[in-house]
Structure 1
Amino acid sequence: MQRSDISRRTVLAGAAGLATGAAVGLGRASAAPREPSAADRVTAITHVTVIDATGAPAKRDTTVVLRDGRILAVEPSRRIGVPAGAEVIDGRGRFLIPGLANMHNHTFDGEAIEPPLHIANGITTVRDMTANDDTSRWRREIEAGTRLGPRWTVGSPIVDGSPSLWEGLGAPYIAAATPEEGRATVRAQKDAGADFVKVYTRLSRPTFFAIADEARRQRIPFLGHVSDFVQLTEASDAGLASVEHLFQIWYDTSSREEELRRDITAVPIAGGEYNGWLNKMHPYEYAAARSYDRHKAAGVFARLARNGTRVTPTLVLHTFTDMPGDTPMNDPRYAYFPAATREFWAYALELIYLNGRTPEQDARGRELFERRLSLVNDLDRAGVPLLAGTDNGTSYLMPGFSLHDELARLSQAGLSTMRVLQTATVEPARYLGARDRGTIERGNVADLVLLDADPLRDIRNTTRINSVVVRGRVIGPTERQRMLADVKRAATAMPVPAQPKAATCPC
């Protein structure tokens, strides 16, 4: 018997097993036979170059067989036949990568905009950083199969100190003034179904550590901003699952840490003063960045890596906050967003980020951003796991599209294209404990992106999307373009609300 016949029979046997609910090396329990459905369709992507995100070299001229939302086979095309009746997608000249993840998202524009834009951009996993009714409902509908969208992980409302930076700004938050309130908040959010507790900037030291302890007791992750009153290494040792943004990393790595920490803890911050926090802290952050001590940083980063503390750099956010005057005003992708959103972006840019800004601040912002790029490179070299995220909800950051901008920024920071790809694939899967996602391997979930150009040659080629596969469902070029057109029409039709949207910020 020829080897290709053996491979083909293996795939057919696997397809037959999945059709009856039997386990085929996937750890699935057997079940009674069921009637064939659309999910039973076998799909074969043939003669494609597979970039499986494990770090292995690209696999050229490979056939990938899908069935019932899973990957049945990843084999050289010469060794495997196409199962009879399979839907065949010709992958010649194309590149297959795992579905992408945005690990720092805020829902802003509603169901006609956000879920389809994520999927059309190849994003099959989203971590939403603030609880809201929309994403909770979408997740239920997606899991039930009644809505097309990414897998959603949804956190608690922001848990901040008192006074909170969010007072009076319209976004959901919880002010925990005491350790007891912090512990009660953790328990309440776990009972409410939050996937994690999102901690914020102005939590007191006692309350921060009470939340950390209660999260450990309740076995729920806690993550987010490092409090102004807590060292990064202390937060990592306490179990902080991921550090969001780069604002508070500088202090632990500064040769002036003791002096600067004394200064920042004395800065008066009023309730609702999130932008005031940005402005008041900027001189100290800049001083910390300029006094960056590589030897000291190496010890800090080794500690993060040892603890498994992730960092989500959100470089596209820092591009905006460090250099707001460089924000493009004519990006054609803005057409996918309602006029109300675009008007608010412009309002926030002019009145919050540019108002009173001096040429000196612009120069310092450019320098600070270049230092952030070097910081990300140092984190990666030290083995700190990085997660790709954008902070959608901040002005001019866009669901779907901005994740690709983030990948380009990570490449600009000096990460290899494979490492950049892993920040949006295998690293999020590891963080989420999803062993069957993030790579292209037999038995894994069939969340995939088919590209028309090689992302290992240029990471910007992740935008050259031909098709997207979501849990085995193929969104081909025609359907994908129709999705984008529908989003654009929905955005055009949306009325401008009487009340403005909540303020945008790094959150």
Structure 2
Amino acid sequence: MSFRTLRGLAAAAAVLTVSGCGQKPAEPAPSAEAGQLLTNFTLIDGTGRAAQPGSAMVIGPDGRIAWVGPAAEARPPQGARTVDLGGKYVMPGLIDLHVHLGNVVDLKQDYRNYTRESVEKDLKQYAAYGVTTVLSMGTDNDLILPLRAEQRQSGRPAMARVYTAGQGMVFKGGYGGVPGLNQPVSTPQEARAAVDAQAAKGVDVIKFWLDDELGTMPKMPPEVSAAIIDQAHKHKLRVLAHIFYLEDAKRVVGQGVDGLVHSVRDRPVDQALIDAMKQRGTWQVAETLSREASMFAYGVPPSEILNDPFFQAAVTPAALAQLKSPERQKTVASGPHFHDYPAFLDTAKANLKRLKDGGVPYGFGTDSGPPGRFAGYFSHWELALMVESGFTPAEAIRTATGVAAQFLGAKDLGTLEAGKQADLMVLDADPTADILNTRKINAVYLGGRPVSVVKP
């Protein structure tokens, strides 16, 4: 993966004009300790308000937004650095509510790959693509906890902020998790004990997998999923379920699950599910449309995605060579359900639109991280697929920023307003005119500090 390192803010501060004459004392040199002024940009703030041309933002030395508004009204602190963005577009960093970290090298997944180095590499790659916060969905080992604690203590990490579900619950012999990491459960008692263990570690949410992998594996019984949900709620933790089938979505919503982390993909959602989700406040936490698209994208040569420089920036040379291999493409295309995957994607897209129109709360997530689902790129692919599903670009952006922060309960993230963390992307073109413009990344800031960004 290649990155370009942003020039230091000292270089950007060359736009600052300091006036003086005669014996007047020199103005103090611009200093990060005095804060920053970003000016001359169009603001897309993540609240759903219309884009605001001619904007400016004062970022305090703590990395939070001290003021945002019309550039003509900006009053930065004395000595603050000024960065003229030259008419570019500023939007909040993306928040991906369904990722997996650290277990994959090239295209090989193994729990032994999970190290502090591999996790930080993924989090830096997310940030380089403008994904400034992620929720890791149930395949972390315990080293994620001190890393998360360090981030929250500093408030200004140099990589994407992380939330975690720790180790999610998998039914014995069933689908999900990472072998060697996730310990299977087979009874309600074991399920409750597993939830207790995760709660004691201080995870942010509880995750479990309810799936039979298209009829090839045992499915978690109702009494086990009910025990997980009940025990999580005893710990005042929200619990999220991996589902595929409509009947399973109805089951866990009826049992009180707080969110679904994939769309229903076997058939159209019905009014009964919509009504139940609205009544209970159940979120469609993540749709993972990009996950569904990736299930067949690598089996149809020549694949446009493989030749996209924005994609290639996320992929190691070894992984890209494997993906381009005709032998591997033939293997993917010969899978027993390969020709079913496009229909699953179409169903997921249609169901997301039905849930949206029906008033069900929904968030944003990709299921990126497993082999072939690359950190950062998939978040932008997800936005494009949401627009294909019937969202406007502005709606998709709000879902992936302000709304996603609402799901996390992260009151200082997701929107570019006074008091919030200055986690943002600077774009060369208007993403509300064309969602593909989120890929034209000029700069990314985390807590007011620039980080390295992708170089397609």
What pairs with 1:31-430 in structure 2 (closer than 5 Å)?
40-67=33-60, 68-107=62-101, 108-109=104-105, 110-111=118-119, 113-129=121-137, 130-133=139-142, 135-145=144-154, 148-165=158-175, 170-201=179-210, 202-226=219-243, 231-246=248-263, 249=264, 285=266, 289=267, 292=268, 297-311=270-284, 312-322=286-296, 324-326=298-300, 327=303, 328-332=305-309, 333-334=311-312, 336-339=314-317, 341-342=319-320, 353-357=332-336, 362=339, 364-430=340-406
Matched, 1:434 2:403: no
Give the deviation of 1:356 after TM superposition.
4.5
Residues 124 and 447 of structure 1 are in contact (CA less than 8 Å); yes or no, is this contact kept in structure 2? Answer: yes
Change (3 A) 1:302 1:424: same
- Larger helix fraction of residues: 1
CA offset digits 1:262-297 (Å, max 9, x no partner): xxxxxxxxxxxxxxxxxxxxxxx3xxx2xx47xxx2
Gaps of 5+ in 2: 1-30, 106-117, 211-218
Q: Which residue identity lines up with residue 217 of structure 1 in the other structure?
A: K
Give the deviation of 1:188 after TM superposition.
0.8
What TM-score, normalized to structure 2?
0.78
Q: What CA distance in whole angstroms lies between the structure 2 residues aligned with 1:344 and 1:178?
A: 40
Change (3 A) 1:159 1:227: farther
Give the deviation of 1:41 after TM superposition.
3.3
Q: What CA distance in whole angstroms lies between the structure 1 residues aligned with 2:246 and 2:307?
A: 41
Aligned to 2:20: none
Give the deviation of 1:76 after TM superposition.
1.3
SS of 1:317 mapped into structure 2: helix
Change (3 A) 1:455 1:331: closer
Aligned to 1:253: none
Give the deviation of 1:381 after TM superposition.
1.3
Q: Which residue identity lines up with residue 161 of structure 1 in the other structure?
A: F
What TM-score, normalized to structure 1?
0.71
CA offset digits 1:379-428 (Å, max 9, x no partner): 21112222222212333221112111111111111101121002211121
Q: What CA distance in whole angstroms lies between the structure 2 residues aligned with 1:339 and 1:77?
A: 44
SS of 2:133 mapped into structure 1: strand
Change (3 A) 1:221 1:344: farther
Taking only the aligned residue pairs, the percentage that are identical comes to 28
Gaps of 5+ in 1: 1-37, 251-284, 486-507
SS of 1:304 mapped into structure 2: helix
Residues 323 and 365 of structure 1 are in contact (CA less than 8 Å); yes or no, is this contact kept in structure 2? Answer: no
Change (3 A) 1:430 1:473: same
Aligned to 2:21: none
Aligned to 2:213: none
How well do the aligned residues superpose, as a CA RMSD in angstroms?
A: 2.9
Aligned length: 396
Q: What CA distance in whole angstroms lies between the structure 2 residues aligned with 1:136 and 1:343?
A: 34
SS of 2:169 mapped into structure 1: strand
Aligned to 1:256: none
Residues 113 and 337 of structure 1 are in contact (CA less than 8 Å); yes or no, is this contact kept in structure 2? Answer: no
Q: What CA distance in whole angstroms lies between the structure 2 residues aligned with 1:351 and 1:174?
A: 34
Give the deviation of 1:59 after TM superposition.
1.5
Residues 34 and 78 of structure 2 are in contact (CA less than 8 Å); yes or no, is this contact kept in structure 1? Answer: no
SS of 2:299 mapped into structure 1: helix
Residues 345 and 395 of structure 1 are in contact (CA less than 8 Å); yes or no, is this contact kept in structure 2? Answer: no
Change (3 A) 1:329 1:50: closer
Aligned to 1:265: none
Q: What CA distance in whole angstroms lies between the structure 2 residues aligned with 1:227 and 1:369?
A: 12
Give the deviation of 1:40 after TM superposition.
3.5
Q: What CA distance in whole angstroms lies between the structure 2 residues aligned with 1:160 and 1:106?
A: 15
